[in-house]
Copies of this chain bind each other. A is one copy, B any other.
């Protein structure tokens, strides 16, 4: 997955393991699909297959929520949808603000998956005055000067940061100061936040780099060439020290405006 976990030291909230919490949305999605097909019950085996996990893991996950299954039959789909939704807090309305309406911010604003799960885009915020008032995905963009007012007025507790990396920390600080306690960060930076605030990050570049690693390994196995070569001893290591080698100008990252971290 492209998700970065937070520093949260595995606080095991309310006895439900973090790993389990991360899978609940997966089960919920699979169950919702079954529900729409009017399937009354599922076995752990079937549901696990649909969610792409091990059936034993799924049963253990559900056991943390309580005993909602019937032996010899399986789980009642509708009931389970309700229980998981409640557990995840999706039975209530969550107003969300998106800060940074560039390519990515706009794409996120137009995402249909928000409303379907109790998330409501309360506001779009951007620092560019030229954007102010312009409707994106049907919602008028507001200027970042009004950030605090918007947060407090609408009681927003979840913020999405889709700004350039350079301003992400500032935006984060303002969000937190205004009362936001959960942040989804798309900017390529490590955000520092006070205790009690959750941060999750989504980083396209990191995902690609991880894929590249495995891809390289696959290729290396075939050729046997450089794949398992010992760390090249001393030959041709790039000029150690000296003036910043690469390019000189600030790299394409460093404050990427658009999508994800580098």
Contacts and interface: CB of A to CB of B under 8 A. Distances in A.
Interface residues of A, number: 116
Given A36-B250, A78-B240, A184 B2 contact: yes
| Of listed A6, A211, A239, residue having the most chain B CB within 10 A | A211
Contacts of A231: 65-66, 68, 83
A30, A106, A198: residue with the most chain B Cβ atoms closer than 10 Å: A198
Contacts of A96: 208
A87 interface: yes
Contacts of A46: none
Nearest to A79: B240
A11 to B, nearest CB: 9
A110 interface: yes
A157 interface: yes
Copy tally for this chain in the complex stands at 2
B207 A200 contact: yes
Interface stretch (A122-130, A139-147, A214-222): A214-222
Contacts of A238: 78-79, 81-82
B245 A35 contact: yes
Given A14-B227, A24-B213, 6 more contacts: A21-B213, A32-B251, A33-B254, A78-B245, A113-B262, A184-B207
18 contacts: A1-B203, A2-B202, A3-B202, A13-B217, A66-B231, A78-B239, A79-B237, A79-B240, A88-B210, A89-B212, A107-B259, A110-B259, A111-B260, A113-B252, A114-B205, A116-B251, A181-B218, A196-B218
Closest 6 CB pairs of A and B: A1-B4, A89-B216, A1-B3, A2-B202, A2-B3, A52-B190
